Structure 1
Amino acid sequence: MLMLTQCKPSNPDTVVSFTLALTAEERHRSRHRFEMEDGTVVFVRLPRGTVLRDGDILQDENYCDLIRIVAKSEPVLTVFARTPHLLLRAAYHLGNRHLPVEITPEYLRLSPDPVLRIMLEQMGLEVKAENLPFHPETGAYGHQSHE
């Protein structure tokens, strides 16, 4: 079993031993056991509050193996609006529910929820069910450590 104890920033030129595909929720787990597709077991043991991002590099405690984190595709709802103001209104209402939301100038993305889908459609937004990597905001008080 690999014990992954260090997180380094993304570097596409880094040669890695493995890749580990994780959902958005899994990337928020700073201490967890994961099994890779080939059956290899890895244990992530990072400082509490560490949120992994797509492309981050994890190193094992013996400095032998490097693992690249990949954002795994998962079911999501992608929300589009006719106007920036309507998209901002949707972000406000979703924020009031304290949900993980990916925010961009073009769309919002969230985990599937039939009640929220109806609410957003009633507000005049287009909601599309997709299977894509999900990159929600980490929150104003979250911290990211990549030293």
Structure 2
Amino acid sequence: MMSLHTKIAHADTVHDLLELPYDQRERCRQRARLASGEEVALFLVRGAVLRDGDLLTGEDGRVVRVVAAPEPTYLVRCANPTLLARCAFHLGNRHTQTQVGAGWLRIRVDPVLRDMVVGLGAHVEEEQAKFEPEAGAYAGGHGHHDHRGLLAPVPLRQKIHRPADS
């Protein structure tokens, strides 16, 4: 199984695609399936988030492009910028992951949050869309891994600890 653990900025050749919804792009360890059907293991630093278009590689040198999968979302639009800012404030006050665009907000499907922003005067449409929420003020995202671009230490061998082990 191919392991992906290193983010790179550029590649002349992309060998495969890895399409994932947002909740899977923020997991640090997981198995996934490439567009070709090949299974891969992802080893990411805790807190790392894969974004649409990111390039990953591993020991074998093949390059995989991350693709944000369309998923159920709500598109929030408002009659004016002040009302949109109020909706963004109330979503943020509830620690809701929110994608911000020019004149709109996008959130995951949540009927309670939909009712809240509709109550504030917003217009909400359900849609299948790529979800790319804001990283957050404290997300950082730069300089927390070594200069080679490793996302996380690559395990040589994982030992399973059992109660009978001494």
> 1:145 Cα shift?
4.5
Alignment partners' CA distance in 2, 1:32 and 1:143: 22
Structure 1, unmatched stretches of 5+, are: none
TM-score by length of 2: 0.80
1:42 is aligned to: 40
Please identify runs of 4+ aligned residues in structure 1 that moved more than 4 A.
none
Counterpart residue type for residue 54 of structure 1 = D
2:56 is aligned to: 58
1:117 is aligned to: 114
> 1:14 Cα shift?
3.4
Q: Deviations over 1:61-98 (max 9, x none)?
A: 23x21000011100000000111110000000000111
The 1:14/1:145 distance shift into structure 2, 3 A limit, reads farther
Greater Cα radius of gyration, structure 1 or 2: 2
2:2 is aligned to: 2
1:93 is aligned to: 90
Contact 2:16 2:36 in 1 (8 A): no
Q: Deviations over 1:92-137 (max 9, x none)?
A: 0000111111012310000001111111111111100000100001
> 1:46 Cα shift?
2.3
Q: State the percentage of identical aligned residues.
A: 39
Tell me which of 78, 83, 89 is aligned to 2:80.
83
Alignment partners' CA distance in 1, 2:36 and 2:79: 44
Alignment partners' CA distance in 2, 1:45 and 1:142: 19
1:59-74 → structure 2 map (5 Å cutoff): 59-62=57-60, 64-74=61-71
TM-score by length of 1: 0.90
Aligned length: 144
> 1:144 Cα shift?
2.1
Counterpart residue type for residue 8 of structure 2 = K
Alignment partners' CA distance in 2, 1:61 and 1:142: 28
| RMSD of aligned alpha carbons | 1.6
Residue 115 of structure 2 aligns to a residue whose secondary structure is helix
